[in-house]
Amino acid sequence: MRVNTRKWLFGGGLCVFVFVELQKLELKLKTLEKEIKNNDAAMMEMRQKLRAERLKIKEFENMKKKISEASADGGENNVDSAGGGAPGVLQLPKKAEQIRKEQENVAAAREHAEEEEQAKRGVIAEPLNNNNDNNHIDNEVPVKSDRVSNSRGVLLNRNGQTPTNKGAIVKKFFADLVMPYAEVGQDMCRAISNMSAARSDIQMLDLYNTIPFDDPDGGVWKQGFDIKYDEEKVKQEKRLEIIVTPHSHTDPGWITTFEGYYNSQTKYIFENMLLSLQSMERMRFIYAEMSFFEKWWAEINDEQRAAVQRLLHQGRLEIVSGAWVMTDEANAHYFATVSEWIEGHEWIANHIPDYKPKNHWSIDPFGLSSTLAFVVSKANLSNALVQRVHYSVKKHLAEQKQLEFKWRQLWSGADASNDLFTHVMPFYSYDVPHTCGPDPKVCCQFDFWRLSGQAACPWGVPPEEITERNLARRAAILYDQYRKKAQLFRRNVLFVPLGDDFRYGSAEEWRLQHDNYIRLFDYINAKKEWNVHVRFGTLGDYFELDHARVEEFKGEADGEVPVLSGDFFTYADRNDHYWSGYYTSRPFYKRMDRVLQHYLRSAEIIVSLAISKDSRAESIIQEMYGLLVEARRHMSLFQHHDGVTGTAKDDVVVDYGQNEVVVFNSLAQPRHEVVCVQTKHLKTEVSRPSYPNIPVPQQIAPVLKRTSRNIEFEFGKYELCFMATVPPFGFEVYKLHSTPNAVGGGASKVSLRSRKKITSSDFMTELIQEPYFDLDNEFVEAHFDATTGLLKSVTPSDGHEVSVNLSFVQYGVRSKNPGKFQGGDDLSGAYLFLPNGPAREMRPQNGYQYVVVDGPIMKKTDIYDCCHGLLLLAISDCYCYFVIIFQMIKRKRFAKLPLQAHFYPMPTSAFIEDNSNRMTIFSAQSLGVASLESGWLEVMLDRRLNQDDGRGLFQGVTDNKITRSKFRLLIEPLDVNKRLNREPDSKSTTTAYHSLVGHYVSLQLQYPLMSMFSSAGQSETMASPTDYNEESNKKYAPAKSKALILHRLGAECGSKLRLHSFCSTSDGKVKVSKLFEGKPTRIRETSLTLLYEGNSNDNFDEVQIKPMDMRTFRLDFTRGFS
């Protein structure tokens, strides 16, 4: 089997993803690498020294200013003091010449220190002498390359031909080495000023202000209202067109596994679908999940495949969405979402190349993200149908006849290019009882599958088979439900789903539904006074009729389609039952999902680079490509709304059979970060073969474990951490050595507070006895509570202390209250979060046990002995709150909503801010987040529930695993003057953006440097894993094309933090044809998922990408597999 273009590069740049300005970066990196060949460690120390000297100069200037100010006051208190002045006594003002000389002395001292440091490291350089006859070298130092040049024409030559001098070039050399500050482009700032809100008729944040959320009894439609219509008036209206659509929702893993569902149910749905649609001319069917469809397609013969394709082209069968699964919209990262959409669409392109999905179907995800609406629009689908929207929101939209709208992105302003025409199903569920009309007791009677005895109607009135005796009566009842439902929409076009989970799995069900509905349809259509035409149809049939009516009614109220912006979180299906618990349920798997995503993304990039750079890699990659495809599909499968919603092996310990650590950087920027590995030997050090004479900054520390009572050292395990420098999309090899004299840069000093003192002959240990302790570096000082080990405040280098006050809290679970909800109450479970009140702080009487590791390159506090339960992170003292999905979305607190309604999904980050400061928490896994009070941010870490919540899982959440959740905290001062009049508390502001620093922190956390272990002479190939079934290793083969997806991030212009980076924002301009070493033979712009072809261009010079936009290109190369 041959799989086309999936060697795609989904990048992670600050400016745009993947290879943005890559040629410039590579050229500059090559030049810089030559210049710093023997100077990495020295330069790092020099940075620290120069910063210290700058601080001294700043202190000196401040003192000079104070003296000048004192002199201006008349000098009455000044006393001459040769010793510099006694305490409390100011010195006499200095003369200008004296001040100038002191400044020169400070500069000379700094330069002398730099020269000494360079001499110690063997780095000596001089500027070129204008007199070539007097060229000389004071101290010749051998360097690795024959010639290294810098941008000013200075040469370092080991042959002694180039003149050098010690002082001036050191400063120039350092200036060239230090990465420039990345600045936000002016086009970005101008664009962002108009991207704080969408121009829309319905804004969800405003809607929440309007809706009372009072939940009165609506009658037969419990959460709605009584629907009536005028029987005479409807006769004069445009004829009511009704499309009834059979469907089956097949979860690829929920109560049982993917394989279990396929073998017991799903394959029978497909088999009976194929037989029934061919024999029942008027029957129709829609289906969504390509993961199941692909498995069935592989089992059927060519004749059956041809029949399926005929049904698709005749419009009797429709593939809706066409994604690999019906993705979760709260927890899934947008990279994984795009990946699973591409996986599904690529399968369609390879196997049914002349068929393309046009409509999106999202009936089961528990809340709806505007990000997925953006993905759907960029995939070139035209329409969407959604179901799980808060019942009060549905009621409000139904009252206004706004259940159909154009869904616009928050950043779009008046731009309608990414709008998605969207239909919201009005009632409680997508099952048959809740789709024909407002009364489920009546609609259930028209689910004829129940005649087979498979299930009864909960309302006590069973279906009746349609006969000549009851046809008129039953048709009138069904017509009444159709008419009432139609009153909620504007154009007398009605969509009626006819299905549920795992339906249409037997020939009998197909017969019962088809035969009984055909009798009803024929009778209803014959009743001219009812003014109705009803038939089986697909989702595409419905939208075609609806859009025709929009055009017909253009200029009239019924032809208007309102614009909506915002999202539909947090979902509630009834009462105060908010589905905010699943944002956090089973966090271990949410974390593993991101780890898999990182590995898969890195593998995709490596494969693409390998094929484009070196033809020798083709044979190896061809052997492994099947594994890559399978891994991609496994990750796609997990994005299902019952997958990521909710087992790693122990840390790898490096032995000396594997003495090389290969570090890979999957981002588009060079990185200089700490990498840690575990080793069995204390006497270990790291070297960098490409720079053998330069020491690598490193440290070694013990590995600790928590026993039943104490914290103890793990025997024979150590954590070796070193500073790694890796180019963009590049590798760097580091070598591990075990020698008696290895010191690893000095062992870390371990400070410990525990129930029992820990001692070690290898490491310094001590008890912390002060009430507070600090960890600091040149940028920040963090202050901790010595009793708990928890962070209390942070002081950046500017000296402004920010209170943080981190703590752990726990929620209890409320008991059922059937009286309050007429017997309909439930308990917290995997989906629902129903607390018994505010959280209580978890503070052990004797404090937590923790270990402080303080080393030369990494400092950390590890807290052990945390309690079980729902844990939250509380950060205090800021004011406005946003949370990210693919975009930042503003949230507000509402007194009319319960506590659980204020938890939202946090796939990657959230922040709170006022006009002066922003505090952002970045997360490496998806979790729930809330801001329940002003200045507080809470992150839910884990949940343990003994009971089911009545939402179909039939179990609690008791399989908790110890999970290491990873976060980063970023505190940014804001410049109000650069925020372009975007006030965070402005009512019109509904979205915001990370700064460049924020984006970089997020990318580093999501895509850390990847460490791979190898040994010299190791084979280039590897055996398949023992648990990998070779029968499933299909012969996938990559083609001679790649997909390049570029995404330009929006950036906050008002942050005072500046990012050291080689990356330039480039005003969003990308030369696609210049990004690769081998020039593509053809470049075609496509839809996001490559299903629809766009423009073809061999040059694509300076493609302009707007902030927040995504564009996809298919690139053809001569090298590849056929």
Are 605 and 666 in contact by the 8 Å Cβ rule? The answer is yes
Strands 802-803 and 809-810, sheet pairing: unpaired
DSSP 8-state secondary structure symbol assigned to residue 478: H
DSSP structure class, residue 1100: -
Residue-by-residue DSSP string for 336-374: HHHHHHHHHHHHHHHHSTT----EEEE-SSSSB-HHHHH
The b/e string for 584-603 (b: 16+ C-beta within 10 A; e otherwise) is bbbbbbbbbbbebbbebbbb
CA distances from 5 to 111, 357, 1030 (A): 56, 19, 23
Q: Where are the beta strands (DSSP E) in 350-419?
A: 359-362, 383-386, 404-408
Tokens standing for 493? 């076009």
Q: Which run of H or of E encompasses 51?
A: helix 40-72
C-alpha span between 448 and 451 (Å, rounded): 5
Could you tell me if 456 and 507 are in contact, meaning their C-beta atoms sit under 8 angstroms apart? no
> Angle at the Cα of 202 (from 200 to 208), degrees rounded to 5?
135
Beta bridge partners of 768: none
* Closest to 413 measured CA to CA, from 189, 562, 560, 565: 565
- DSSP annotation of 262 reads I
Burial 810-848 (b: 16+ CB within 10 A, else e): ebebeeeeeeeeeeebbbbbbbbbbbeeebeebeeeebb
Cα angle for residues 990, 995, 1000 (degrees, 5° grid): 125
Query: Vertex 724, ends 723 and 727: CA angle to 5°?
Result: 150
Owner of token pair 């796939």: 907
Q: Residue for token digits 């029957």?
A: 283
DSSP codes of every residue in 773-806:
EEEE-SSEEEEEETTT--EEEEEETTS--EE---
Could you say which of 40, 251, 328, 364 is catalytic?
364
Closest CA to 153 of 187, 181, 129: 129
Distance CA 485, CA 435 (A): 9
- Rounded CA-CA distance 734/722 in Å is 10
In this structure, are residues 212 and 896 in contact, taking their beta carbons and an 8 Å threshold?
yes
Residue 227 tokens, joined: 């629907």
SS3 103: helix
Token pair of 1032, please?
Answer: 């499933």
Sheet strands (E) in 833-873: 840-841, 849-854, 859-864
Cα dihedral across residues 292, 298, 300, 302: positive or negative: positive
Nearest to 745, CA basis, from 778, 719, 774, 708: 719
Quote the DSSP letter at residue 151: T
CA 842, CA 847: separation in Å to the nearest integer?
10
Provide the H-helix boundaries in 614-693.
Answer: 618-638
Cis peptide before 570 (omega within 30 of 0): yes
The answer to whether 902 and 930 have CB atoms below 8 angstroms apart is: yes
How many whole angstroms separate alpha carbon 703 and alpha carbon 715? 8
Q: Active-site residue 364, yes or no?
A: yes
**Amino acid in position 991:** T
3-class secondary-structure state, position 278: helix
Give CA separation, 748 vs 711, 764, 1011, in Å: 17, 8, 22
- Write out the catalytic residue numbers: 364
